[in-house]
Structure formats: C-alpha cells, structure tokens
C-alpha cells in the first residue's frame, strides 16, 4: 500500500536500476484514513514480486495549504445567482471533505488576493484560520445549492460586483462556497477584498484588521 499523498517508484534492479513502475497513493477508503490496497500483479502494473529497490516521494499538493479566494460574480440587474455549500470532482464527497479539512487543520491556509495588475498570496494566522475552518465545517454539511443574492445599486445607478469567499484544496479538486459575500462599487468593483471575510471591518471589506496574516 502507498499512503494517500505519496508516490512510490518500484525498480526491478537494485540501486534504482532496470525497468520501473510509478504507483500513486489513492484517496483513503473511509474517514479513519484507511489506505487502499493496490494490486501490482494484475491490471495496470503487471509487476509481480520484481521490486529490488524503491523511491518514495511526498506529493506537493498533500503538504500545501488550502487556498482562500474571493471570486467575482457579475450581474446586469443587481441580483446574483451564487453557489453555496461543498463541491468536489471526487467520487466520494465525504473523503474529499476530510481531505480539505486535513489541509486546513494541519498545513494551514493562505489567502489569494486579486488586484488590478497583480496577484498576491499571504498566509493566514492560526487564530483566523480556526475561525474560517469552523465556518467551513458548518458549510460542508450542505450539498451544493444555488441561491439568489441582491446588492443595492450604487448612487449613480451602477450595478456593483458581488464577491464571494471560497476555500479550495491545493489541487483544486474540492471547493467550499461560503455564505460570505460583499457588494463592491466603483474602483473597488474590479478588485477583490484583500483579506478573508473574518478580518473585514466594513460592509465592502475595503478595510481589514492587520492581525490576520503573516508574510510568506
């Protein structure tokens, strides 16, 4: 068995020589992180009792942080259709929920800040991360649902941009669409909030408290 998050290269000669096969650890089979057995004798590999040496490598996405974003949602009228809840491309949602929780809890989480000309990343401090994680655990109990959200028009009648806070695994396989949204107007409309929802100090999230992040 190869643990999820690791890969193993098996060689049929000592010293990493000869022919080889590449085996990638598969997603856990249950919430207790039970590993999957991988049959090397039949199917894809056909590598029966041939291993003389092996290499084990940790996959980069396993040790990377979960990512937080604000995503923009446009509208012609000020009414926006948003996703809310948990979505995964994986075949077993409960395991991918565990995967995302594992990344946030043990590897931390970062904030991707989208600007007009550049994208920046900042690491979220543990206290702030714990607040986001608690909120995400509640949101995970929902399947993916769709909701309408309304923003007031601006003073000159302009339609604002709605920004929604999401958390995503490092490999982009799973996403939590949170209930935290902000309506942004004027120059702010094209730029994401520069902090997670938990650090916003005003309704447009134009101001943030400065204790939420640490430099990379």
CATH number, position 152: 3.30.1750.10
Question: Has residue 37 been placed in a domain?
Answer: yes
**How many angstroms separate the Cα of 170 from the Cα of each of 62, 131, 133, 135, 205?**
8, 19, 15, 19, 25
Q: Shortest CA distance to 191 belongs to which of 116, 80, 118? A: 116
Question: Which structural domain, as residue segments, surrounds residue 26?
Answer: 6-58
Tell whether 145 and 198 lie within a shared domain: yes
Distance CA(12)–CA(45), nearest Å, equals: 13
Same domain, 209 and 123: yes
| Calpha distance 182→16 (Å, rounded) | 55
Structure tokens at 61: 């996405």
Burial of 43 (0-12, 13-18, 19+ CB in 10 A): exposed
103 and 24 in a common domain: no
Asked whether residue 97 falls in the same domain as residue 121, the answer is: yes
Pick the last residue of a domain from 58, 83, 99: 58
| Structural domain contains residue 1 | no
Tell me, yes or no, whether 110 and 22 share the same domain. Answer: no
For residue 209, the tally of other CB atoms under 10 A from its CB is 12
Token pair 């806070």: residue: 165
Q: What is the 8-class DSSP label of residue 161?
A: E
Task: State residue 5's pLDDT score.
Answer: 66
Count the domains in the chain.
2
Per-residue confidence of the chain (216 residues) as pLDDT tens digits?
777 667 777 888 888 778 777 676 766 666 666 777 777 766 666 677 788 887 776 654 555 678 899 999 999 999 999 999 999 987 778 778 877 877 777 656 678 776 555 567 888 888 888 899 899 989 988 889 999 999 999 989 999 999 999 999 888 889 999 999 999 999 999 999 999 999 999 999 999 998 898 765
* Same domain assignment for residues 76 and 132: yes
């Amino acid at each position: 068995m190869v643990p999820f998050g690791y890969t193993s290269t098996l060689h049929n000669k000592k010293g990493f020589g000869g022919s080889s096969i590449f085996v990638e650890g598969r997603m856990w089979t249950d919430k207790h992180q039970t590993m999957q057995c991988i049959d090397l004798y039949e199917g894809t590999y056909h590598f029966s009792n041939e291993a003389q040496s092996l290499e084990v490598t940790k996959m980069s996405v396993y040790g990377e942080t979960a990512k937080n974003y604000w995503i923009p949602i446009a509208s012609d009228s000020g009414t926006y259709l948003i996703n809310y809840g948990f979505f995964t491309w994986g075949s077993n949602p409960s395991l991918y929920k565990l995967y995302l929780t594992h990344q946030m809890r043990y590897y931390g989480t970062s904030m991707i800040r989208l600007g007009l000309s550049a994208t920046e990343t900042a690491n979220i401090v543990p206290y702030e991360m714990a607040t986001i994680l608690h909120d995400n655990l509640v949101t995970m109990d929902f399947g993916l649902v769709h909701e309408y959200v309304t923003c007031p028009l601006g003073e000159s009648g302009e339609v604002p941009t709605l920004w929604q806070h999401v958390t995503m695994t490092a490999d982009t396989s799973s996403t939590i669409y949170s209930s935290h949204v902000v309506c942004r107007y004027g120059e702010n409309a094209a730029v994401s909030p520069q902090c997670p929802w938990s650090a916003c100090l005003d309704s447009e999230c134009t101001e943030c408290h400065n204790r939420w992040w640490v430099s990379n």
